Structure 1
């Protein structure tokens, strides 16, 4: 029996190693991309600790785990196939965060496939906790900035400090403050959720307590960041802008966040479930060895290899040597910025009209059309007053009205052109890029924008804008010749 178990264990280790190596082979760009973000971003530096924490959670139950007999399961295969399909779409559209999420989900599915349903369910939390390794959540920054500004103004009014808010700018009698990206509290929120979720799992055995504490870990840092921002403005106001206006307010923020986390754990400890015999892991009785079904891991391995060869068929465009120079040769009035484009066209025309076009490959060695660093206006200089969806020259466009800190208005319209498809939605643009790449309909896309000084009266400028968009549509793309 011992010899049979030894052979079975060796068989399992060989199959598991082959599948995990195949997983890394397919997802190596996503895994290395995650590590690169962990190393350069304070917001996601906790990603280095997620896998060790998950392994430690498994090792806590080693007495049970080492005696358990794994049993391959078919149930994980369709979930693995779905995750690989998401990977193909993410790779073709160059959506890094979606590809990284697919990598982690595929890893969870493979472990589930190898351990079987019973063991995978027992270790569902250590497996699910791997999701926190994915550097995601930056799309919440604009919303968090608005919430922080709202809390700051509300607390200042309660305190009796005169305040005026214009978008993300907050003005008090002694000076003006901006709720910048660093003030959004995204770092505090993501770290609090990751730590709070682990604390809830280790401290509570009842599901409702775990859910309530995780919700508490989400709400508390948002509220605390609003109090922190209010404190910075209040300190600057009462000190006549001597304190809390430079780097010291960042240090103050981290100290304050550490205090908030300590309070969160202290309060959570009052409701901790006491350890008793019912919560101790049950012992595992001797199990008879079962013959492992090699067809299941073979199917998973085949799916991984097929996805690898499909993504290799997606064309990747090498950037020309002068792409950086081309991207740096324009300085628009309203601050549009699209970096690492293959080709950039910028023209300042009569009547203070500016035209901007940036062309990208659907997938290129560096840069992408839809990325966080690509913006249609300078958010630090301009405040968005309003936007409206329109149709010009039978094409959808978005009209955006801006105002700077001095009250000067400016407007612009923009759209994305993905092959022969036009949209103003970033998500639709990404999906169409993926579709065009996988079906080889078109390998290139572009963003178009036209800006005018003042508040645009469409009844007066519609003909001019329509003529300009028709000329852009009629021009043949030099990339696809």
Structure 2
């Protein structure tokens, strides 16, 4: 019993410095960690493996501790990269760039380990902790590139079969058959992340040579991408052969995982070959252990104090990024020409409405031209005007965020793109949508109005947030116009609506935020 108490006491003394340092760090980065974990619970997205990867990481860390028996010390040289990571996190907080905050989480964790263990000991923890990077939702920025690569591969494959098709952006139009969108979920990102994670874990458990680990990792990347290319090609081809009646169109997720599982067979076969053909005996690093008398307790606790204070200093100088989320948005009080436009009941346009999360102020109106309605017949055009504004951007209340979409991709598919110009020359992005079930067509024009600047691209709208730190305006708005009609020229009708309404809407938005 006495020996067990001694062991427990020594174990507590060994981990206590880490507990203090990690607690101080998590008090700073908790909103970001919470956002990452919330993505793990979305089981139909690319990061649903995050919870499992966290469990694997914990097991690997415990395994490494038992194997290496690390000795705690203080290595002040590593304070510099740790401080740089804190600075990057603070910059991401100031600019409201969630990706920059998220990308620093794993380096911050490894930074604390390096400060107390030094390079010779911390390098054994790089993979056990680093695998969490494959569950951090910063990989979405690869999605667009992966979508374009997938489209080009399928353009090549479909060309060999003599199929009549054309490609526009991420849309594959099968002439006379239908349209496929290589959307975010078809980029292959989820297969890539899982493949990378498996390759990293296999290398950690079975390889000691860096060359073997890198080789297997690169092979996993290629095979994971190939699985997605094959999946998308088969779905498009079967859609062509069955006149869009194949069940693979709606059940493509399960089919994709079966294809991906098939690619794991050659991956693990190659891994086994590398394992048997390479001398994989771990060399003993004589300098890996540190005598307990090298670092005094006073020096160690000085390091604990410095590491714990740094996150509090960064947190104290940063502006609050939390902010209060309104339970329901306030209403803009806009005045439109009531003699010209009559309201319609509801805030949807043929079942469509944008997906905007946690706005502070909202104005939506569905209406029609009064002079166009005659007799018992209803209006031949339905019009939509929507303004979704944030007084200032903060965590979970940002104009450009993962949950904000112009349309629900499970219900609508784009049929074309065009440009719309306002009377003041401001360009808006034009979009024609078709409902997947009813086949109804609507036409939209939208733009992002950030701190007085207009953008049509989400990335540029995100970067425009920087301007709010150098001006008196902190607002950001999505401005959307829509037209639904059966026999009219939708693009022309949309252009007329923008020309009539946009100056009034923008003027009243400016008046509200500049007062």
2:76 alignment partner in structure 1: 74
In structure 1, C-alpha distance between the alignment counterparts of 2:112 and 2:348, rounded to whole Å: 50
1:131 alignment partner in structure 2: 133
SS in 1 for 2:19: helix
1:417 alignment partner in structure 2: 450
User: For residues 414 and 201 of structure 1, do their structure 2 counterparts lie closer, same or farther at Cα, with a shift above 3 Å needed?
Assistant: same
Aligned ranges 1:149-164 → 2 under 5 Å: 149-164=151-166
2:402 alignment partner in structure 1: 372
Aligned ranges 1:31-180 → 2 under 5 Å: 31-42=33-44, 43-62=46-65, 65-66=68-69, 68-165=70-167, 167-171=170-174, 176-180=179-183
Aligned ranges 1:57-456 → 2 under 5 Å: 57-62=60-65, 65-66=68-69, 68-165=70-167, 167-171=170-174, 176-238=179-241, 243-245=246-248, 247-272=250-275, 274=277, 276=279, 278-282=281-285, 287-289=291-293, 290-291=295-296, 292-311=299-318, 313-314=320-321, 316-321=323-328, 330-331=347-348, 336-346=354-364, 355-363=385-393, 366-376=396-406, 380-383=412-415, 385=417, 397-403=426-432, 412=445, 414-418=447-451, 420=452, 423-424=455-456, 426-427=458-459, 429-430=461-462, 433=465, 436=468, 441-449=472-480
CA RMSD of superposed structures (Å): 4.4
In structure 1, C-alpha distance between the alignment counterparts of 2:38 and 2:453, rounded to whole Å: 33
Give 1:259 deviation, angstroms: 0.8
More displaced 10-residue stretch of structure 1: 113-122 or 270-279: 270-279
More displaced 10-residue stretch of structure 1: 124-133 or 448-457: 448-457
SS in 1 for 2:476: strand
In structure 1, C-alpha distance between the alignment counterparts of 2:430 and 2:364, rounded to whole Å: 20
Give 1:316 deviation, angstroms: 1.0
CA contact (8 A) 2:475 2:513 kept: yes
CA contact (8 A) 2:195 2:221 kept: yes
Aligned length: 468
How does the TM-score come out when normalised to structure 1?
0.78
SS in 2 for 1:104: helix
User: For residues 297 and 393 of structure 1, do their structure 2 counterparts lie closer, same or farther at Cα, with a shift above 3 Å needed?
Assistant: farther
CA contact (8 A) 1:71 1:115 kept: yes
User: For residues 157 and 31 of structure 1, do their structure 2 counterparts lie closer, same or farther at Cα, with a shift above 3 Å needed?
Assistant: same
SS in 2 for 1:123: helix
How does the TM-score come out when normalised to structure 2?
0.74
In structure 1, C-alpha distance between the alignment counterparts of 2:200 and 2:191, rounded to whole Å: 14
In structure 1, C-alpha distance between the alignment counterparts of 2:446 and 2:319, rounded to whole Å: 37
In structure 2, C-alpha distance between the alignment counterparts of 1:422 and 1:362, rounded to whole Å: 16
User: For residues 305 and 25 of structure 1, do their structure 2 counterparts lie closer, same or farther at Cα, with a shift above 3 Å needed?
Assistant: same
CA contact (8 A) 2:127 2:200 kept: no
CA contact (8 A) 1:318 1:364 kept: no
Give 1:114 deviation, angstroms: 1.6
Give 1:412 deviation, angstroms: 3.2
User: For residues 362 and 469 of structure 1, do their structure 2 counterparts lie closer, same or farther at Cα, with a shift above 3 Å needed?
Assistant: same
Give 1:32 deviation, angstroms: 2.6
Once the two structures are superposed, what CA deviation does each residue of 1:243-264 show, in whole Å capped at 9, x if it has no partner?
4345444322221111112222
CA contact (8 A) 1:87 1:98 kept: yes
Structure 2: which 5+ runs fail to align?
A: 334-344, 373-380, 484-488
Structure 1: which 5+ runs fail to align?
A: none
SS in 1 for 2:274: coil
